[in-house]
Amino acid sequence: MAEAIQSPPALSGGGREGNLAEKEELIQKREGPLCTLVINRPEKRNMVTVDCLLALTRTFEELAGDADIRCVILTGAGEQAFCAGFDIGALPT
């Protein structure tokens, strides 16, 4: 089962490129004791936005407290890159 990780409310919207609810930048797939997190911005070589970084942090904290999860895999969507780093173009000017 895959689900989009929701953006923190304080950072959603506002015309910024980091709205996870609309773009599904971070997808979580759980299969038994395995959880796969997919950074889903292949058109940007999976560059991380502020919202995505906060969602990753929150998700890892939640998974650390989940006794059913034994392994977490972090990967990127597409064929070009795992993650090209932080997307400074998504920062407000």
Number of domains in the chain: 1
| Tens digits of residue pLDDT in 61-73 | 999 999 999 999 9
Query: Cβ neighbours of residue 91 under 8 Å, at least 6 residues apart?
Result: 50
User: Rounded CA gap, 17 and 11, in Å?
Assistant: 10
The candidate with the shortest Cα–Cα distance to 39, out of 18, 8, 69, is: 18
pLDDT, residue 57, reads: 96
Whether pTM > 0.85 for this model: the answer is no
| Tens digits of residue pLDDT in 10-55 | 333 333 344 444 468 999 999 999 999 999 999 999 999 999 999 9
- Show the domain range for 13: 2-90
For tokens 């939640």, name the residue. Answer: 62
For tokens 């490129």, name the residue. Answer: 17
The candidate with the shortest Cα–Cα distance to 78, out of 42, 36, 46, is: 42
Whether 8 shows a pLDDT value over 90: the answer reads no
CATH code at 79?
3.30.300.220
User: Rounded CA gap, 22 and 28, in Å?
Assistant: 15
pLDDT, residue 10, reads: 37
pLDDT, residue 1, reads: 58
Query: Which two structure tokens, joined as six digits, stand for 78?
Result: 């597409």
